[in-house]
A and B are shown apart, each in its own frame.
Chain A
């Protein structure tokens, strides 16, 4: 690597000051400084300069971070700037699907207000974000843990993207979604023949649990259920039996009854 006997280069003197000198050159440099007091004075001055700069600016890093630089706040601001619900409303209206009359629930239960909200928001977010070719997700598959943590924090409910890889659906990322009822988590998957599937998780504190319901939304299908105060949906352009099977897998992974 380096030859301990070779003459001292000026950059080694700087590396000495910055603690970046190779250990095997240290004795040679020290000896050189002993033999050359003028150089030693110069190096001492650089050292003092380094210390003075650190003393001058170091305290800035010890200050509390101002609120406008808080990372969570910045992430939230980015998300709300996108106004996903307003965009979703526009999409739904353009499809003539505004209001609850555009879709139907099949499950033997009367659609409750909570389920109506859940289904509308899940489908709206599905439509808006799966159509976004440039950036369908806020955080990609590589940041799976980051996303889980942030969504869990925001939802005040621990949640991670379910694993559907055994069924040919690969997780590609997710985002925080906005609903009139607060934040929701949206996880997106790429399936066979380019089918995009989303899993939508929305806390609905006061809502009663409901078994899996089928949502028929004209151009997409979904499954929705509520379990222990949390609403879940799985939405994709897939035949209802296949969707139902996937919904049951998701439900199982989220600890619900099969």
Chain B
């Protein structure tokens, strides 16, 4: 089985995963995937068959996400704080690691969006640094610096969370 449509279809699970990690609400995430697929189908005839479908789709979705953010910023009312991140919350393990889990998701959402996207594309979506640069339309050097800053900041945030409640620390 080959062909662009088949390859697009194969990318839908990854697009949903990335959208779920970017947006707090699963419904919004699937809306984003939906818009991305619509856009991809509308642009299908401009594509060369041999180009990388996955990077192309992620780039379309990134552009939609960025314009969504821009519109959200233009809205007067801000997003409600402390929204649950359903994607992660539904998967949260029960015991004490749930707290670390929550710290991780909170920390991720607290990162600037430029760092969050790079961390997710590299760590979760397994895109190479060059592919990530391509998807985001930035130089590879910028990918590296955002990755380094984002990871380090997220590490500090989750470790601070750990130190704030030493009694719950896992004993190996």
Contact = CB atoms under 8 A, between A and B. Distances in A.
A75 interface: yes
Interface string B121-163: 0111000110000000000000010011001101100110000
Given A14-B147, A14-B148, A69 B122 contact: no
A52 to B, nearest CB: 5
Interface in B1-54: 2-6, 8-9, 12-14, 16-18, 20-21, 30, 33-34, 37-38, 41-42, 44-45, 47-49
A66 B30 contact: yes
A53 B37 contact: no
Contact of A49 (B8, B12, B41, B151): B151
Q: Is the interface of A mostly helix, strand, loop or mixed?
A: helix
Contacts of B33: 69
Nearest to B155: A45
A68 B30 CA distance: 9
A49 B158 CA distance: 9
Interface in A36-60: 42, 45-46, 49-50, 52-60
Interface residues of B, number: 51
A179 to B, nearest CB: 22
B17 A61 contact: yes
A14 to B, nearest CB: 6
Interface residues of A, number: 43
B91 interface: yes
A243 B16 CA distance: 49
Given A50-B123, A143-B45, A57 B101 contact: no
Nearest to A18: B122
Contacts of B152: 42
A49 B45 contact: no
A146 B9 CA distance: 12
A230 interface: no
Contacts of B99: none
B129 to A, nearest CB: 6
Contact of B16 (A14, A15, A55, A63): A63
